[in-house]
Structure 1
């Protein structure tokens, strides 16, 4: 059995992929902080509810094996697209990147990523515990 077949691991992997992409978009914004006319980008908020509906909506089919066909409208992997997002300030050259806001977004994304990694690790530990032979010790 592959870990991707377990829904919690699939959702955590999608969440970590989203947060990695968010960090990439933020770093791109910071890199273009001095570019005239640059508008910062951001990603739409990640929603576990939307992910659940995409994977297993009410009465919908679910792809349980890698070779299975996906239900209509469902997609595999991380599929996020950056959107232009105006920050609170625009300089005289038209650049609207505010480094303080980008650093706050980056800190939030990093904390969320660390929490997802921790939850992933705890879930793996629970699976290892469940697979251990009774009375085998630590």
Structure 2
């Protein structure tokens, strides 16, 4: 069952959501740190586009698929709602909104995987 594309996609989405959750937690933990600049991960579609299979070969007649998948999702600077006089750009309201997005993303991801598993099992049982 792990070879099914939807399960692999669901797993990748869970990894991305987990990474985003840890970045949000890091931002909240450093909300009062002077000079700390808040971070965010790039969007899931951007992360998936950067890990597509690409064709490569040493000879134009020989082509091989190269898996460009990277486990880490790069984090970059986010657009802050406000920057305090200490140079900190973390807005707790913005981080709580992101946290809610992560929670709803996990719920949606789980629901889709469960539905696909039910359809798969119904197909196997006949």
TM range (shorter): 0.7 to 0.9
Cα offset for 1:54?
A: 1.0
Match among 97, 112, 119 for residue 119 of structure 1: 112
Looking at structure 1, the residues matched to 67 and 123 of structure 2 have their Cα atoms a distance apart, in angstroms, of 35
Cα offset for 1:72?
A: 2.1
Secondary structure, counterpart of 2:88 in structure 1 = coil
The Cα RMSD (Å) is: 2.3
Change beyond 3 A, Cα 1:17–1:114: same
Secondary structure, counterpart of 1:128 in structure 2 = helix
TM-score, normalised with respect to structure 1: 0.75
For the pair 1:82 / 2:82, whether they are aligned, the reply is: no
Match among 6, 10, 33 for residue 8 of structure 1: 6
Tell me which stretches of 4 or more aligned residues in structure 1 moved more than 6 Å.
Answer: none
Aligned to 1:107: 100
CA deviation map 1:20-65 (0-9, x unaligned): 11011001000000101000010000118627x715x7xx6xxxxx
Aligned to 1:71: 65
Unaligned segments of structure 2, at least 5 residues: 56-63
The alignment of Structure 1 onto Structure 2 pairs a total of residues equal to 118
Cα offset for 1:73?
A: 4.7
Counterparts of 1:34-53 in structure 2 under 5 Å?
34-47=32-45, 50=49
Secondary structure, counterpart of 2:93 in structure 1 = helix
Secondary structure, counterpart of 1:83 in structure 2 = strand
Report the structure, 1 or 2, having the larger strand content: 2
Secondary structure, counterpart of 1:127 in structure 2 = helix
